[in-house]
Structure 1
Amino acid sequence: MVVELTKAQARRIAVRAQALEADRPADVVDTVRRLTFVKVDPVSAIAPSADVVLWSRLGERYDPAELTRALEVERTLFELDLMVRPMDDLRLFRPSMRDWPRHDRTRGWIEANSSFRSDLLLRLTAHGPLPATELPDTSVVAWSSTGWTNDKNVQTMLECLMMRGDVAVAGRRDGARLWDLAERVYPEALEQDHLDQADAYRLRNERRLASLGILREGRGSSTPNEPIDTRGIGEPARVDGLPGAWRVDGAALARVDEPLRPRTALLSPLDRLVFDRRRLAELFDVEYVLEMYKPRDQRRWGYWAMPVLHGDRLVGKVDATADRAEGVLRVDAIHEDEPFTPEVVEAVFAELDSLAGWLGLEIRGRGVGLA
């Protein structure tokens, strides 16, 4: 039976799934479990994107040191492929690690550099954890690429070994990953919990659908390197006014008519609520493009414009930058996607106050008004 949903119902499902209601998650680990992963990205116009994502859920009580502790001390979270994930989910990746890589070119490069691979593992055994810069490049065949990874042999081999489950990210130093043997990073109990490939694939997709609530039916992408295959999972659905088939998380349907406990949130441009631009346009009737790669004179909203969520609507964007040298959160513009009510204006500035307080900065530019 196909579930019939209005756009408002679909939006409520999406917002609730992303932990953006007034009832906030308990802590960092709880947040990451609900989101399934948080992307690590070096861009820090406000703060690192992962920190902004967690702040937008937890508020000013979020302390980045809590994330570091969960990753490096408690091992309740782990980093894989530039995503922070709950350690409970490691078992969902182990089957694919045993079968990685699938591409002949990558497999051939690893095999041609078997001595290089052994050198890295021996060095980590004796001296790990270490950053890539402290590991020797003894490759026989260089990694060739038209992109920025060309001839980045140590980094490429480490990432291959990570995806195979041989090494793992043990922590970070000044933003750089520290590498160690996987057996020293991953809890032994989880290492013994094996699923077959088909079950792990299905469970990963179910987890990702639950974290987003509702998605188009088929195989798409919720973030780079993380495709979601919604075929055969969740419940089939149609959304009023939108063509095509959708899949919705079954647990979310139990609350589909429950009123949302709304709040206002400033989101990272890499936040998963807004990352899928087609879904964003269809469910929220909003256009959004990350403009950091555009020339300044071609930007409409700003270098790192933060989407503004109010209840189940995306109502605008805030163009802001953290200037730590000056000790200020510089607000250059607040753009309205739909006319702001006095309530929305007050809520947006309250979130800016919260963001500035969390960053330990003073707001400058509040007098710019609304664009």
Structure 2
Amino acid sequence: MSDADVVVLSRDDARRLAVRAQLLDAERPGDVVEVAEQLGAIKIDPTATIAPSEQTIPWSRIGWAYESGQLSKVVEQDRLLFEYDGHFRPVSLLAPHLARMRGRAFHARAAAWLEANARFRADVLARLRAEGPMLAARIPDTSQVAHRNEAGWYGSNQVPRMLELLSAVGETAIVGREGRQRVWDLGERVYAGVPEVDYEGAGRMLEERRLQAAGIARQKSPWTPVGMAGVPASVEGSSWKWRVDRAALETLDDDPGGRVAILNPYDGMLFDRPRLKELFGFEYVLEQFKPKPQRVYGYFAHPILVGDRFAGLLDAQLDKKKETLVVTAVHEIIDLDPEEREMVDAEVRDLAEWLGVPIAYAPGR
């Protein structure tokens, strides 16, 4: 197939491509490394109404065989995944990410802050070089200029911001965690021996892997930037120009069928909101930042995928004191038949079993 040939897809096929690429069909992956290799990234976020995203994302794919300790093992002991920019990523993507880090140019405000804190930058790197991996709390704040913190993401200590900015250009790196706290080291030590890739070639490699994870993406999308990776496609009923992963297209007819999946709000399947609406007719709004009276589905409602349709949202919370999964509601947004409803309920029970707690349904459920 030449790139000039446009693949014509039904909407059902387009959705199946997306679902299979995200490992959300009936054929489950074997372990968390396989998940990371296919998805390219596993989001890290501390919000844990049920469990943190870096745990629920693998569970949504692997199911009962996934244990939370598997992730820390492959990151910190096996070194098969690495942490960068708020995600765990497979080492197969380290070289292109490192090339893009080293070629990165900061925006004017960040560049000015780094320039004003040149001595502080040198102090941080010298401390890591001399003493090795450590928490940010062990590094003295010798900053000359404080960061303007209108958004409130940082405290008064300037060390975490310096470490994060330096990690963006490969000068520092995260090598592990103590609880939720990151352990930092010198980039030149952590990335020693990583093969060099040119900047433009690295960009193309990352575009190809983004398309692999998406299955299908809009050709010019800021949400899922895939450039000209894959092959061109059109989808029935859509005026968009699409790119489709070639390997996924070749196995489209090998359909293992669908299943029910409960997705963390920060799951990569949900990230590209325009694609979600265009292909699935699903307009997902995270109500975490809405005032409570304005919430319809709940503070951190988890979307529920049934086959290739988004069928509902789970409003639930892990009560750590009572060691119970409290289910406030399972909101159906499309009509489900009795068998599908039982499948959803079974997946909620599986979630509670994975957490190791019983279910308590809120009154009226």
TM over 0.5: yes
TM-score bracket, normalised by the shorter chain, equals over 0.9
Structure 1 stretches of 5 or more lacking a match?
A: 223-227
The aligned residue for residue 357 of structure 2 is 361
Aligned equivalents of 1:233 and 1:194: distance in 2? 21
* Structure 1 position 240, deviation (Å): 0.6
Answer yes or no: is 1:42 the counterpart of 2:46.
Answer: yes
What percent of counterpart residues are identical? 43
2:11 corresponds, among 7, 15, 40, to 7
2:141 corresponds, among 137, 140, 144, to 137
Answer yes or no: is 1:155 the counterpart of 2:160.
Answer: yes
What are the within-5 Å matches in structure 2 for residues 70-109 of structure 1?
70-109=74-113
Aligned equivalents of 1:152 and 1:35: distance in 2? 34
1:245 corresponds, among 241, 248, 254, to 241
Whether the 8 Å CA contact 1:132–1:155 is kept in 2: the answer is: yes
- Which residue type is aligned with residue 196 of structure 1? D
2:206 corresponds, among 204, 207, 210, to 204
Normalising by structure 2, we get a TM-score of 0.94
Query: RMSD of the alignment, in Å?
Result: 1.6
Answer yes or no: is 1:342 the counterpart of 2:346.
Answer: no
Aligned equivalents of 1:318 and 1:171: distance in 2? 32
Whether the 8 Å CA contact 2:260–2:307 is kept in 1: the answer is: yes
Whether the 8 Å CA contact 2:27–2:256 is kept in 1: the answer is: no
- Counterpart secondary structure, 1:221: coil
Aligned equivalents of 1:5 and 1:184: distance in 2? 47
2:176 corresponds, among 148, 163, 171, to 171
The aligned residue for residue 312 of structure 2 is 316
- Cα deviation digits, residues 19-55 of structure 1 (max 9, x gap): 1111111211111111000111110000001111111
The aligned residue for residue 286 of structure 1 is 282
Whether the 8 Å CA contact 2:297–2:331 is kept in 1: the answer is: yes
1:259 corresponds, among 255, 259, 262, to 255
Q: 1:363 to 1:248 in 2, by over 3 A?
A: same
* Structure 1 position 149, deviation (Å): 4.2
Whether the 8 Å CA contact 2:223–2:271 is kept in 1: the answer is: no
- Cα deviation digits, residues 34-82 of structure 1 (max 9, x gap): 1000111110000001111111011122112111111111111111011
The aligned residue for residue 225 of structure 1 is none
* Structure 1 position 368, deviation (Å): 4.4
Normalising by structure 1, we get a TM-score of 0.93
* Structure 1 position 111, deviation (Å): 2.6
2:119 corresponds, among 115, 121, 124, to 115
The aligned residue for residue 301 of structure 1 is 297
Aligned equivalents of 2:188 and 2:172: distance in 1? 8
* Structure 1 position 118, deviation (Å): 1.5
The aligned residue for residue 31 of structure 1 is 35
* Structure 1 position 301, deviation (Å): 0.7
Answer yes or no: is 1:351 the counterpart of 2:347.
Answer: yes
Structure 2 stretches of 5 or more lacking a match?
A: none
What are the within-5 Å matches in structure 2 for residues 46-61 of structure 1?
46-61=50-65
Whether the 8 Å CA contact 1:149–1:156 is kept in 2: the answer is: no
- Cα deviation digits, residues 312-343 of structure 1 (max 9, x gap): 11111111101111110000001111111111
Aligned equivalents of 1:306 and 1:149: distance in 2? 25
Aligned equivalents of 2:75 and 2:333: distance in 1? 38
